[in-house]
């Protein structure tokens, strides 16, 4: 016969599971319209992920919001070629001139300061979707350190040959579309989000239209 304590413990655990399940919701965001221009350049990259035709379903805790909206952005490039870094978190995901930032060739990064320690559950990235292309060596990291010298967690890495020096990534290269790239994050705590890239299949430049960071302030 089970003890009363065991029965109570079982009931509490069952209630906890039920409450946790009820608190999870589908992550939703606004998807910009399709806008394609220019002559496509052949994508010669092995093992490209299937192209997204609709946003995938990601589950996040209720109360999760885009903490990156309007937050300050810095970059490795001191001389931005096109646009302003504020475009990365301004909430506008449309394509075309005036909506994106262009950084210099080779390894570059942009970094978002959430201005608070947060529990991050997803990151959604739009590099450039006016033309189908693949960006090379996409790495996304979270840290509590603005210099990313300690407490660094990598949540996405498709650098298959360790060009950037963070280790060989297991994530697949992907084609840029208006849907962007949603990245599931397992409740990583941090204040800063840094996103790397290393040119793309159309040219050597690095671009960002929008980055959303979904989470809740850490308790």
Average pLDDT over residues 134-157: 98
Average pLDDT over residues 24-38: 94
Average pLDDT over residues 130-134: 95
**CATH number, span 26-217:** 2.60.120.260
Exposed / middle / buried, residue 216 (Cβ in 10 Å: 0-12, 13-18, 19+):
middle
Q: What is the pLDDT of residues 160-217, one digit of tens each?
A: 999 999 999 999 999 999 999 999 999 999 999 999 999 999 999 999 999 999 999 9
Average pLDDT over residues 118-124: 98
- Mapped onto helix, strand or coil, the DSSP state of residue 114 is strand
Q: Report the distance separating Cα 213 and Cα 185, nearest Å.
A: 10
pTM over 0.85: yes
Q: Report the distance separating Cα 190 and Cα 115, nearest Å.
A: 10
């Amino acid at each position: 016969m089970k003890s009363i304590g065991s029965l109570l413990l079982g009931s509490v655990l069952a209630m906890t599971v039920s409450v946790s399940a009820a608190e999870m919701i589908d992550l939703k965001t606004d998807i910009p319209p399709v806008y394609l221009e220019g002559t496509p350049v052949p994508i010669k990259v092995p093992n490209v992920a299937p192209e997204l035709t609709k946003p995938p379903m990601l589950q996040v805790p209720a109360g999760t919001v885009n903490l990156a909206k309007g937050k300050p952005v810095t970059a490795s490039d001191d001389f931005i070629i096109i646009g302003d870094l504020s475009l990365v978190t301004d909430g506008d995901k449309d394509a075309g001139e005036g909506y994106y930032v262009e950084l210099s060739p080779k390894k570059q990064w942009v970094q978002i300061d959430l201005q608070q320690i947060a529990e991050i559950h997803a990151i959604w990235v739009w590099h450039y979707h006016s033309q189908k292309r693949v960006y090379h060596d996409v790495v996304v990291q979270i840290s509590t350190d603005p210099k990313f010298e300690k407490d660094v967690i990598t949540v996405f890495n498709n650098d298959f040959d360790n060009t950037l020096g963070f280790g060989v990534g297991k994530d697949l290269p992907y084609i840029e579309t208006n849907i962007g790239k949603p990245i599931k994050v397992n409740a990583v705590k941090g204040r800063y989000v840094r996103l790397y890239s290393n040119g793309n299949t159309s040219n050597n430049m690095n671009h960002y239209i929008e980055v959303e960071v979904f989470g809740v302030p850490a308790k």
